[in-house]
């Protein structure tokens, strides 16, 4: 029996994570939701063509809050026919994308902290239902967002240790 996994990062890219140990303590989930589509090759639900899905889709009710996953600056707030209403944060992890929002609550150039509500979930742009499309881009490369999101659990565990006084970072 053969089991195969598709891993989208080569080993060199892991430096992306190990070079930023302190920031790991500052990662939150972008929203609460069910994963409806993961990063990687997929059959697109609208075009019915096989294409790369450069982010992760999380489904919840319309107007569910979307949170800044880490500290950053609001790089762009916009709207187009693909991403719908979107917001891009500039962070130490790269550019963080939130697409298909019903409403963006922050303005370009402002600082956001991990956990701040920055937008509300919606169904704008090229979308077949209410969801958040969450993407992470460093330079020209789209990254596997689940790796960043998995760090939010480490961050959560980290905070528990911090609250219990077992580690002191700041």
Beta carbon nearer to Zn ion, 93 or 97: 97
Q: Does 144 bind Zn ion (CB under 5 A)?
A: no
Q: How far is the CB of 21 from Zn ion (least distance, A)?
A: 29
CB-nearer residue toward Zn ion: 57 or 116: 57
Residue of 57, 95, 116, 144 interacting with Zn ion (CB under 5 A): 57
CB of 36 to Zn ion, least distance (A): 8
133 binds Zn ion (CB under 5 A): yes
Site size toward Zn ion (CB under 5 A) is 3
Q: HEC states along the chain?
A: CCCCCCCCCCHHHHHHHHCCCCHHHHCCCCCCCEEEECCEEEECCCCCCEEEECCEEEECCCCCEEECCCCEEEEEEEEECCCEEEEEEEECCEEEEEEEEEEECCCCCCEECCCCEEEEEECCCCCCCCEEEEEEEECCEEECHHHHHHHHHHHHHHHHHHHCCCCCCC
Q: Is 100 among the residues that bind Zn ion (CB under 5 A)?
A: no
Shortest approach of Zn ion to residue 143 CB, angstroms? 14
Q: Does 26 bind Zn ion (CB under 5 A)?
A: no
**Which residues make up the interface to Zn ion (CB under 5 A)?**
55, 57, 133
């Amino acid at each position: 029996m053969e089991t195969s996994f598709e891993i989208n990062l080569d080993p060199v890219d892991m430096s992306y994570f190990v070079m930023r140990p302190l920031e790991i303590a500052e990662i939150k989930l972008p929203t609460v939701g069910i994963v409806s589509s993961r990063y990687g090759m997929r059959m697109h639900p609208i075009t019915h063509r096989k294409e790369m899905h450069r982010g992760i889709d999380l489904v919840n009710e319309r107007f569910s809050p979307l949170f800044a996953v880490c500290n950053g600056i609001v790089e762009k707030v916009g709207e187009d026919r693909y991403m719908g209403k979107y917001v891009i944060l500039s962070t130490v992890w790269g550019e963080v994308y939130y697409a298909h929002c019903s409403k963006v609550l922050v303005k370009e150039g402002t600082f956001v902290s991990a956990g701040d509500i920055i937008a509300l979930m919606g169904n704008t742009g090229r979308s077949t239902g209410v969801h958040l499309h969450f993407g992470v881009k460093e330079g020209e490369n789209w990254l596997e967002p689940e790796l960043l999101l998995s760090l939010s659990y480490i961050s959560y565990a980290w905070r528990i240790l911090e609250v219990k006084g077992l580690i002191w970072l700041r």
